[in-house]
Amino acid sequence: MAAFNLAKTIEYWLDSAAYDLDTGSSLLEAKRFPYALFFAHLALEKILKAIVVKASEEHAPHTHSLIFLASKAKVEIPESILDRLAEYTEFHVEARYPDEKKDFYQKCTEEFTRQKFAEMVEVYQWLIQKLEK
């Protein structure tokens, strides 16, 4: 088994997060609104995993919960951002599971999605700054 490489693991999560955010942006422009938010969630999840890996010097936990990852990040995160992360975690669940999809798809108007996507980009950028410290 290969040795754990901290720098490469962090780089993997960062590259993957950037790719997913770019994919989300493309889906937003294609008016695939639920999936734009889903990919923005993935980007936040992966940037949080990069922060967790940096803090713990271990592999990131297998979870999609942004709040759980934030709790493991060893970074002081304001309540306002934690509230957003809790909301965004729902985008992951609602976009994936059929019972939740109908309501979520109706909620994902262009205005709602563009607003939430922009907020998610702000949180993403805030997290990037925390990682670089």
Task: Give the pLDDT confidence of 66-75 residue by residue, as tens digits.
Answer: 999 999 999 9
The neighbour count for residue 32, using CB atoms within 10 Å, is 16
pLDDT tens digit sequence for 10-29: 999 999 999 999 999 999 99
Q: Among all chains, which residue has been given the structure tokens 């936040």?
A: 44
Instruction: Name the amino acid, one letter, at 61.
Output: P
CA distance 16 to 49: 11
Q: Which CATH superfamily is domain 6-132 in?
A: Nucleotidyltransferases  domain 2 (1.20.120.330)
pTM of the model: 0.93
pLDDT tens digit sequence for 73-127: 999 999 999 999 999 988 886 656 666 677 888 889 999 999 999 999 999 999 9
Q: Among all chains, which residue has been given the structure tokens 């939430």?
A: 116
Q: Where exactly are the structural domains of the chain?
A: 6-132
130 closest CA partner among 44, 63, 67:
44
CA distance 115 to 74: 28
69 closest CA partner among 41, 38, 105, 110:
41
The neighbour count for residue 120, using CB atoms within 10 Å, is 24
